[in-house]
Structure 1
Amino acid sequence: MTEKFFDKIYGVSSPEATQDMYDKWAASYDAEVADNGYATPARVAKALAKHLPDHSATILDFGCGTGLSGLALRQAGFSQVDGMDPNTEMLSRASEKDAYRTLIPIDLEDETPIPQDSYAAIAAIGVIGTGAAPASALHTLLKALPKGGHLGLSLNDHALADPSYERALCEWLDCGAALLVFKKYGPHLPGQNIKSNVYIVEKK
């Protein structure tokens, strides 16, 4: 029987343990999320496409994993998508999909892994939250965007239960450094009875 990981990933507390788990999960990740009706990639991609009419703009799929989010972005009409992830096993799986212009490994020790002003939009789909990237990653992404750039992200129920994640977003919104142009709560992993907020944020 194939090992299941959903019951384990939200309890992981260190970056090292997280990467080890994703190493083990890479081969079965697509099948397990499909079995649970993974809806968030399409939700973020469609919302981002609506608020970023130039579908030829270069998009970064941050934390691209096995490439499901890249496929969703391509299906939403974006033609220039780069993927970035810290896990080499996940990147190997992503390389098998016809979704990306290029794939870039993330050095977790690098505080500025994204070249400044290189992307019109960044997608962080199922990336920031418990068992994944910390709330501080949101600052990294918004800092890397140019003025007028868009961030499409999701926070699932586990992340929403921890106020630090939305607080990080509000630090940008409350001072006017960014504008929330879309927010909607909806399905994330129906098979796990988990929902998520999808956000589109424009940097000012």
Structure 2
Amino acid sequence: MGRDSVTLGCLPEEELPVNIDKANAALDSVYTADTPETLARAYAAWAATYDDETASLGYLLPFLITAWVTRHVPVGEGPLLDAGCGTGLSGPSLKALGYSDIAGLDLSDDMLKIAGSRNAYSELKQAMLGGPLPWPDGHFRAFFSTGVFTISHAPAAGLHELVRITKKGGHAIFTVRDQVFESGGFQAVFDELEQAAKWRAVEASPWFRCYAIAEPDALVKTFVFEVM
């Protein structure tokens, strides 16, 4: 997601939606979380209004990631893992495109309850990226993840475990926020996995905006790797 403070330069102050102020406060709480427990509490507090408030910012990623999934994963090949699924915004879009076997993973039980109400996920599990994940080696055809490798969230090292649970010939599809790509050591982890013959690069997008409406300087890049 975006920076600590969201701005809308194209609208006069009196026309700014009320949700923008609420989104700013919620973003402050998740981007300043200094422990997994603090982050989980922040998302628990945000869960009920997360969809409305991120929509007011024009948050693109949960919907745009489906373009990369459909490009690399044929319908009928599964299961897929939505890693850091939050309230499950990606699931219904993929279900509408014919993907029927999607698992969701998130650190927040409150977010997972909302994801479950969408009837798009075959299973939902609570766990934190960066620690052990509750699936066997090579379980998934692909994993996809948006807005998770960002400020004060999942570490780059979490990619090792995600690759472990993805089968050979499967795909890793995920976004990384510009502000953490270098400081978070993502390139080093990319290189480690490549040198260990665990994956190979397939494509990387240009840096692009997280939001259609707010914060034009908040950028992410989508990466796609084939697991080996």
TM-score for both structures, normalised by structure 2: 0.80
In structure 2, what is the equivalent of residue 179 of structure 1? Answer: 200
Note the C-alpha offset of 1:187: 2.3
The alignment's C-alpha RMSD in Å is: 2.2
What are the Cα deviations for residues 167-199 of structure 1, in whole angstroms up to 9, with x where unaligned? 222321345431111211222124133121011
Which is greater in Rg?
Answer: 2
Percent identity reads 28
Q: Tell me if the contact between 1:84 and 1:106 (Cα under 8 Å) persists in the aligned partners.
A: yes
Give the letter aligned to residue 192 of structure 1.
Answer: E
Question: Which structure 2 residue ranges, 5 or more long, are not aligned?
Answer: 1-17
What are the Cα deviations for residues 123-173 of structure 1, in whole angstroms up to 9, with x where unaligned? 122112322211211111012112111111100223225241232223213
Task: Report SS of the residue matched to 1:146.
Answer: strand
Alpha-carbon separation, structure 2, partners of 1:120 and 1:68: 20
Q: Once superposed, which parts of structure 1, at least 4 consecutive aligned residues long, lie more than 6 Å away?
A: none
Q: Tell me if the contact between 1:135 and 1:168 (Cα under 8 Å) persists in the aligned partners.
A: yes
Task: Report SS of the residue matched to 2:168.
Answer: coil
What are the Cα deviations for residues 72-112 of structure 1, in whole angstroms up to 9, with x where unaligned? 43344422111111211001111111321121222679523
Task: Report SS of the residue matched to 1:117.
Answer: coil
Q: Tell me if the contact between 2:163 and 2:198 (Cα under 8 Å) persists in the aligned partners.
A: no
Say which of 210, 217, 221 aligns to 1:188: 210
Note the C-alpha offset of 1:24: 0.4
Alpha-carbon separation, structure 2, partners of 1:164 and 1:176: 19
Task: Report SS of the residue matched to 2:204.
Answer: strand
TM-score for both structures, normalised by structure 1: 0.89
Alpha-carbon separation, structure 2, partners of 1:177 and 1:110: 18
Alpha-carbon separation, structure 2, partners of 1:9 and 1:164: 20
In structure 1, what is the equivalent of residue 179 of structure 2? Answer: 158
Matches within 5 A, 1:18-97: 18-97=39-118
Give the letter aligned to residue 45 of structure 1.
Answer: T
Alpha-carbon separation, structure 2, partners of 1:109 and 1:146: 19
Alpha-carbon separation, structure 1, partners of 2:196 and 2:129: 28
Alpha-carbon separation, structure 2, partners of 1:78 and 1:66: 18
Give the letter aligned to residue 171 of structure 2.
Answer: H
Matches within 5 A, 1:123-134: 123-134=144-155
Alpha-carbon separation, structure 2, partners of 1:104 and 1:175: 29
In structure 1, what is the equivalent of residue 223 of structure 2? Answer: 199
